[in-house]
Amino acid sequence: MKTTTLLQARFWISLMGVLALLWLPVTYGETTGKDSRVPKPSIQLPAKAKKCVEPVDIMKRQHQNFILHQRDETMYKGIRTKQHSLKNCVNCHADPKTNSVLGKDGFCESCHTYAAVNIDCFSCHTDKAESKDAAASYRQFGDLGNILDNIIEKR
């Protein structure tokens, strides 16, 4: 009987110790006032943007769903809109210095690094904002402009 009680006590003490060790990293920044080892994302709102296509709190949590839905609408149904298009996001959020959403201070990469999430969009799509000259030069061709748009976006 005493052996069972002693084993139960050891189990609960061990469990509490493990839980305390797991909880320590979560509360470290709050109790010490120090930042975590992972750098916070450098999010700078674009100067040219008046507001995002969706509220910020929704975009933080749902942007990947909007992009995937847009992809399905475009690829499977042939419906192209700008509201949730990846190209529109890149054109608005690209860093003015690098003209890209990737890199250490890039809009996309800084958040995805902080959240430890891989970005696979840019294995096919460009991470660079579209130049005004390129947009004007091929949009005059209608459907051909859409074809060229796809080719340029993949570079």
Give pTM, 2 decimals.
0.59
Residue 48: DSSP 8-state: T
Q: What is the residue range of 71's domain?
A: 56-153
Same domain as 132, residue 88: yes
Same domain as 80, residue 12: no
Same domain as 12, residue 75: no
pLDDT in tens, the chain (155 residues): 567 787 888 888 998 888 887 776 666 555 555 666 777 776 777 676 678 888 988 988 899 999 899 989 988 998 888 888 888 888 888 888 888 888 877 888 888 888 888 888 888 888 898 876 655 554 555 555 566 566 655 55
**Does residue 74 sit within a domain?**
yes
Sign, Cα dihedral of 71, 77, 80, 84: negative
Q: How many distinct structural domains can be found in the chain? A: 2
Same domain as 134, residue 65: yes
Q: What is the pLDDT of residue 32?
A: 54
Residue 69 identity: H
Same domain as 63, residue 23: no
**Does residue 125 sit within a domain?**
yes
